[in-house]
Amino acid sequence: MTIRSILTFPNPELRKIAKEVIKFDSALSSLADDLLETMYEFKGIGLAATQIGVHQRIIVADVSDEQNEPYIFVNPKIKILNQEEKGGYDEGCLSIPGFYEEVVRPLKVEIRFQDLDGKEKKIIPEGLLGVVVQHETDHLDGKLMVDYISSVKRQRIRSKLLKQKK
């Protein structure tokens, strides 16, 4: 297991759309291990492969208090179950360190995905896990939480992060 570097906004790599995973092998398992290890190291509750510069459709999450209930979603697909029921949540992002913004998302979604063996699965995540899965799946589609906020706020965050890099 290796702790990877996390790309930060506005790195253009974060805008690339991830490709579907077609090979379920030891390299995929290693990638999942690296994602989990990196997420835990940086005190996150979710991480997408895109955030470490790997453009494959795989995300990990762990919203448990003890950080001992990891989820691995390969090729996740989200279906909104109730378009009217939405809620705001203060979201943070390992690729946008130090910033939290309210993002409004559907409260009830179904996620269809494959496990590391390629087996098809489906869950209806509750609460925070549902938010995390939507946030991380956005990463696979080149979308960031700053895309949900005003352009003025987005530009301010961009400027601050670029300044920190210098």
Count the Cβ atoms, other than its own, within 10 Å of residue 30: 12
90 touches 46 (CB < 8 A): no
Active-site position among 41, 66, 120, 136? 136
List 106's β-bridge partners, or say none: 86
41 annotated active-site: no
3-state SS class at 82: coil
Cβ 49 vs Cβ 76: under 8 Å? no
List CB contacts of 100: < 8 A, sequence separation 6 or more: 90, 91, 92
Residues annotated as catalytic (active site), given as ranges:
136
